[in-house]
Amino acid sequence: MRRERAVTTKRQIDEFWALKRIAVVGVSRDPKHFSNTVWQELRQRRYEAVPVNPATDRIDGQPCFARVQDIVPPVEGVLIMTPPSVTDRVVRDCAEAAVTRVWMHRGAGGGAGSVSPAAVGFCEANGIAVVAGFCPYMFLPGTPFFHGLHAFAKKLTGSYPR
């Protein structure tokens, strides 16, 4: 049986957040949806956060792209906030667009989030550094208290990246 996810290190996470131009794949048009909240947070933190959603060409007045390889100028990394069945296609799009850093979101609920074992394997086989299965808020300084609790719980259980 294939392992569910690659071992993610704190260094990989820090390198991802050092990027300046990041696509957020799966951004919802609904401003209350978690994916939209994350995208807005990145914009507030001065990232060039580029929305990707094939169902629309604009979100919050910003140009939105159907696929990662359609983004001009290209992005340095991709935060994936789609169901796992879509993640498999997204990582192939990332490879085609020469993106070498990917983050597959997973929240505190313990569900799959965006993580797909096949997509993780594809990333590993194609030289794409992958953060598989963590909530981005856990690693952004100054986020609300409960995100720090999520990180603290991960540390207690030994599942926090080293």
pLDDT (tens, 9 = 90+) of the chain, 162 residues, equals: 344 445 777 888 899 999 999 999 999 999 999 899 999 999 999 999 999 999 999 999 999 999 999 999 999 999 999 999 999 999 999 999 999 999 999 865 556 689 999 999 999 999 999 999 888 887 776 665 544 544 454 444 545 556
- Alpha carbons 26 and 115: distance in angstroms, whole number: 13
Nearest to 133 by CA among 154, 109, 162, 112: 112
pTM of this structure: 0.84
E strand or H helix at 152 = helix 145-157
What is the set of domains in the chain, with CATH numbers? 10-157 (3.40.50.720)
